[in-house]
Every structure is written in C-alpha cells, then in structure tokens.
Structure 1
Amino acid sequence: MSTTLSPSLQRFIEGMPKIELHLHIEGTLEPELMFALAQRNQVALPYASVEALRAAYAFDSLQSFLDLYYAGAAVLLTEQDFYDMTAAYIARARADKVCRSEIFFDPQTHTERGVPIATVFAGIARALREAREQHGFGSAMIMSFLRHLPEEDAFATLEAALPLREQYRDLWTGIGLDSAERGNPPEKFARVFARCKELDFRLVAHAGEEGPAQYVRDALDLLQVERIDHGVRSEEDPALMARLAQHAIPLTVCPLSNLKLCVVADMRQHNLARLLEAGLAVTVNSDDPAYFGGYMNANFLAVAEALTLKREQIVTLARNAIAASFVDAEERGKLSAELDAYCLAQTA
C-alpha cells in the first residue's frame, strides 16, 4: 500500500464505490488457482511452483505477457473452472468496493483448445448471476475477438455464440477487441464489427496502448466503438484529444498494466492526470490484475500517490466510470446516488 498518501485519502479511496470497465476475466487467474485447476484437470504447467510462476511475471512487452497469459488459460477446461475463476475475481472486486464490473472474455482462447463456447459462457454467467442475486453485484459480459487471429475467425466465433444470446441476454451486452495491437489495426475487423453493430451490441476496442493514436481514430471511425480501452497514446494527436473531450468518449485506462508492460517506465510519468486535466472521460481499471500486481484499489492508490491526485480528481474518475457504463438511466442514477452518499458521509 501507499506510504506517502495521507491516511484519510487512502481510506477514502479504499472505501469508495467503484465501477470496473476494463477487466479480462482470464487475467484474474491467480497462480494459486491456476495450480489448483491444473491439478484438478491434470494439466502440466511449465513451472514447478506458485513462486516460480510469479517470478515469470516480469514482462518487457504486451506480447511477452500474452505468451504467459495464453499458457495459463490452458487449465480452464470445464464450466466449474470458469465459475471458480469468476467467483474468485468477484470476491476480490467486492473487497475493493467494486459494485459493477463489465468483463471481457476471450472464447477463442478456449475454443481453439476444444472447449465448447457454451462452457465458457455458462461458467462465467453462473458466477455473475449468483453475485447479482446474493450481493447486488452488477455486471456485463463483453465477448472479445483476438486481433492476432483472422477476421474470419472472429466471424466464426460470433456465429457460434449467437445461438446463446437469448439465454444470456441479461449479461452479454457487448463486443470487444483485444490481444496484440502491433500489425493488427482496427480496420482488420471492420466487417465483423459492422455486423455486431447491426445486431445491436455495445462496441468497444483496445486501441492506443502499444498501437499509435491513429488506432484510436480508426476504432472510432471504422469500428464505431463507444469506449476506447487504454487509449493513453491519444495524447500524441491534439486533434484527437479535442475530439475525445468534446464527445466525452471514455478511456478505460489501466495504470498498473501500463507500468508492468513498459508503456510507462515509472508511474510518475503516466499521463492519466494530463488526460483528466484535458477534459477526457478517463476511468481507472485493473486489466489483468493477477499478472499486473493489483486490483482496483491498488490501481487507484498507485496513481493517486504517483500523480498526487486530489480527492476531487479521484471522485471524477469514479463518476466517469458510472457515465461510461452500459446501464440504463435508472441504474446510472442509483450508482451516482451511491457515490454521492459516500462522498457526503466522508465530508460530514
């Protein structure tokens, strides 16, 4: 935890209700659970222990992380595996006062290993519905296409998933695009995103993390997305920055991820505060927290300390996430009221 934040600001951050908009459920697979699932499913891992696996979490690029990420996903085989992984994330998120999470999941990571797409949906959805019923935890599922694979594979995944849409209509609301940006521009997926828009899905895409600001423009113009996941390199294009601010296009920024993947060399160099000052709808998220060293509170605390954010800026980040979430006006009002009540209680 932080050593330079005031105790009052640290407590405020830790207790503040939060919305998470950029979370890869496969990226929440902690080494302990990974080893337990490997044993349960008799899957051999190339690491002798939890400690050896954690030691491998020294990444020099997005690709070096993805190599380990896909290897770890090999332990996920059954509905119960996906349920256990999702339930474990929800427990950690709730401990950080996350009241809603809109999660990415990557069916192609699993179907190419022979896991039925229905199994992936069923395990994740069961945990999310259980959390909603027992704790009032809000959620949505965003099915993401892997951009290093051909667009034809994305179309095939979409067609395989569509028969499940009615069964999961209460959760599956969005389509995303993730994996390695380099060499995989948004235009590669323009046709499948057009099809998803016709089907009335909410659309988001990773852009402007390792890819250039132009990828952010292309995600907006060619894919017609509503949110940009990451987007930190938008700062390279002043006209784009003005556009993002004018239209309040959300950026789902992931500070500890950016640090771990060498997007920034030091958290004090992160441009989150500058983006916020420029009027952009910036949000804070944890991305792949099992690999990047922290869930939501850790990300908020890290930027608050490194960038000397004020309480008002912290609250703005939380309000931005509410505004950017895929909920109706009534639910957005409830989430805003909950945040308002918290802030009022902390100043009383």
Structure 2
Amino acid sequence: MLKLASSISAERLPELLRRMPKAELHIHIEGSLEPELIFALAQRNGVQIPYASVEELRKAYAFTNLQSFLDIYYAGASVLLKEQDFYDMAWAYLRRAAADNVVRAEIFFDPQTHTARGVSMETVINGLYRACEQAHADLGVSASLILCFLRHLSEEEAFETLEQALPYRDKFIGVGLDSSEVGHPPEKFARVFARCRELGLHLVAHAGEEGPPAYVWTALDLLKVERVDHGVQSTKDAALMQRLAKDRIPLTVCPLSNLKLCVFPQLKDHNLGQLLDAGLVATVNSDDPAYFGGYMNDNFIQTFAATGLTAPQAYQLAKNSFDASFIDASMKRRYTDLLDATFAAFE
C-alpha cells in the first residue's frame, strides 16, 4: 500500500488527507469548546464571562506558552454546569470529527476542572458518555473516554478523583495526565497510576511537550504508560528515540497545538517527519482544536503543506492511529482495511 501511495501527486494530497479514515487519540473535550458555544452556554446557565463578544474572546487566543493557554481554557470551562452542557460540547466535537472522517476518537476529559466548581462526577461523565453513545449510533464514530488528572494538583486530589469516578468505571477506558507540565514530573503520580493499572485501566500521559526527555523516560518506566501524549522533545535524546521505536510506544503528536504554544517557531520546523523516519509510531491529533485553530483535517493539511510530507507518510500516520488505539484487533483490521480501500480507490 505504501508503494501505491507514492504515486499520488502533491496536488491531490489535501483531498486524500480529508478523505482517509483516521483515529484521534489526543483530544481534550473541553478544548473543543468553541467561543460560540461558550457564549450560548453562559447565557443558558446565567454565567458571567469576562469577554463582551465571540470576537473579543477569539482575539484572546494569542498564547505564548502552555500556561497562558490554560488560563483561558479553565475560564471557558466555567460555563459547563449541567449534564446537557457536557453532552452538547461532546456532540459538537463528534460531529466535526465525523466530517473529518475520524472513525475512532479516544477523548480526554478533566473532571477536576468541574468538580472543583461543584459539578458532580456523575454530571460530567454521563453527559459525555451519552454523546459518545449517540455518535456510534448516528455518525458511525466509535468513541471512548479517558479521565485525566491535572498534574498541577496533588497526588491526594488525584486519588480522590479516581475514587469519585469508580462508580462510573464502565463509562471510561483509561486515565491520563495533563495540564502544566514543567515542574510537575510524571513520578508525582506513580502511585495513582499503579492503582489504575491494578484496576485494568489503559494508561497514557502528557510528557515531552514543553518538559524534557527525562519526563518521557519516567512516564514509561514509573507510570508504565502505553502511549505518550506529545513526546516531541524525545528527539533530543537518541537513546530515548531508540527505546520508543523498539518498544513501539505511540506518540500522539499535535502539530498546530505545538505551533500555537511556541513549541516550534514555525510549522515547517516541526519534527513529525523526523519521528516517522526514526520508526516511531507517531500519530496526528488536534489537542484543543477550538483554541489552536484546527481540527484533525486542518492539522494534517497544514502540516503536510508546511513540511513537505507525502502520501506514504499520510498512510503511515493513519495506520499508526489505528494501531495505537485502544480497540480490539478485529476493529483495527477493519479500520486498516477501510484505509487501504480509500487509498486504492483514490489512486
């Protein structure tokens, strides 16, 4: 199939990127909350937000680093109060994902952002889960939830969050670690992740976005993660790159996010191609698309245009996304067959 893909011209590549089936493995559902929906929910729930209009809020999306983004991200989440709010947010994302030919989505959510405001765990999970169920029925999109701990908070608070979530264990498939990376190394949560592993949950963690390669090592060795979210700083450590390639540890890379948060000065400087050339299981994802200016197809099309990546690399990235997903082998084969058929028909 890679040989077949090599015959697809650069002019036809954007359409191929749009049409090919893909999995999204790094999407923060609160980061899909578009300004229009923020204002609609604020009005519905009587919440005051410090922006006069959708346009003013969008103008605030000029980030210099991860923390400057998180400040606005948490302010936007303040409008989410009821189960219907969480459903509406997730349903809006899932419709966009389906339009981008995302057939599988593994969705991060941050319960501590909401429980700290008095919103119950039940409200958060049930709203999101209902949207995932409807996406499967109405859109043909397979979607599952991954609960993330906020790393700037304490280990004790993470344990409390896990206990609050366990009555809804059947509605999420794994746990992750996100929020402010620098100064909050993965080992801070080693005991929490050990408990989650005992519970049979899938394990992922953000590492190597702004933090050093050492954070990727500890995510692998102490947290025992199955996937590394971001991981782009891994190219600074040759031994780590060899480890990631040898153990087939997927990286959920988010190019437009990296650009918006100044991880790379320009999109043409992104190291996605370097990761693929080194044999890593790299994937493309949108992270927080409402804030970073692009959903899945935007990330693919803009990154390929800026870096000169080609159709065989598009195929590899899409296949990697299925291989790296937490679905069973038969579903992976089904989606890979669909990917093969799309490339064959396109050629």
TM-score tier by shorter-chain length is over 0.9
Q: Secondary structure at the match of 2:309?
A: coil
How big is each residue's C-alpha offset from its partner over 1:213-261, in whole Å with a ceiling of 9 and x where there is no partner?
A: 0000000000000000000000110000000011111000000000000
**Does residue 190 of structure 2 align to residue 186 of structure 1?**
no
Task: Give the deviation of 1:36 after TM superposition.
Answer: 0.2
Q: Secondary structure at the match of 2:105?
A: strand
Task: Give the deviation of 1:123 after TM superposition.
Answer: 0.5
CA–CA separation in structure 2 for the residues paired with 1:296 and 1:70: 23
1:138 paired residue number: 142
**Does residue 263 of structure 2 align to residue 259 of structure 1?**
no
1:90 paired residue number: 94
1:210 paired residue number: 210
What residue identity is the alignment partner of 2:294? G
CA–CA separation in structure 2 for the residues paired with 1:224 and 1:247: 12
Pick one of 70, 78, 82 that aligns with 1:74.
78
How big is each residue's C-alpha offset from its partner over 1:307-341, in whole Å with a ceiling of 9 and x where there is no partner?
A: 10110001100010110000011111111111011
**Does residue 162 of structure 2 align to residue 158 of structure 1?**
yes
CA–CA separation in structure 2 for the residues paired with 1:343 and 1:6: 14
Count matched residues.
339
Pick one of 109, 118, 130 that aligns with 2:122.
118
1:43 paired residue number: 47
2:305 paired residue number: 305
Task: Give the deviation of 1:6 after TM superposition.
Answer: 3.9
1:220 paired residue number: 220
**Does residue 153 of structure 2 align to residue 149 of structure 1?**
yes
**Does residue 36 of structure 2 align to residue 32 of structure 1?**
yes
CA–CA separation in structure 2 for the residues paired with 1:156 and 1:304: 42
- Contact 2:29 2:89 (C-alpha < 8 Å) held by counterparts: yes
- Contact 2:216 2:231 (C-alpha < 8 Å) held by counterparts: yes
1:331 paired residue number: 331
CA–CA separation in structure 2 for the residues paired with 1:165 and 1:13: 35
2:241 paired residue number: 241
CA–CA separation in structure 2 for the residues paired with 1:51 and 1:178: 28
Of the structure 1 ranges 180-189 and 7-16, higher mean CA displacement relative to structure 2 is found in 7-16
1:197 paired residue number: 197
CA–CA separation in structure 1 for the residues paired with 2:237 and 2:193: 24
2:294 paired residue number: 294
Give ranges in structure 2 of 5+ residues lacking alignment. 1-8
Q: Secondary structure at the match of 1:75?
A: coil
Task: Give the deviation of 1:135 after TM superposition.
Answer: 2.3
Which structure would you say has the larger RCO, counting Cα contacts within 8 Å and 6 or more residues apart? 2
TM-score (norm 1): 0.96
CA–CA separation in structure 2 for the residues paired with 1:15 and 1:134: 19
How big is each residue's C-alpha offset from its partner over 1:71-115, in whole Å with a ceiling of 9 and x where there is no partner?
A: 000000000000000000011111111111000000000000000
Matches within 5 A, 1:55-66: 55-66=59-70
Q: Secondary structure at the match of 1:68?
A: helix
TM-score (norm 2): 0.97
Task: Give the deviation of 1:192 after TM superposition.
Answer: 0.3
Task: Give the deviation of 1:139 after TM superposition.
Answer: 1.1
Task: Give the deviation of 1:303 after TM superposition.
Answer: 1.3
CA–CA separation in structure 2 for the residues paired with 1:307 and 1:85: 32
What's the Cα RMSD here?
0.8
Q: Secondary structure at the match of 2:78?
A: helix
CA–CA separation in structure 2 for the residues paired with 1:13 and 1:87: 23
Amino-acid identity (%): 62
CA–CA separation in structure 2 for the residues paired with 1:153 and 1:227: 23
- Contact 2:205 2:228 (C-alpha < 8 Å) held by counterparts: yes
Pick one of 19, 22, 29 that aligns with 2:26.
22
CA–CA separation in structure 2 for the residues paired with 1:314 and 1:180: 31
Q: Secondary structure at the match of 1:265?
A: coil
What residue identity is the alignment partner of 2:14? Q
Q: Secondary structure at the match of 1:165?
A: helix
CA–CA separation in structure 2 for the residues paired with 1:90 and 1:225: 26
CA–CA separation in structure 1 for the residues paired with 2:319 and 2:272: 15
1:105 paired residue number: 109
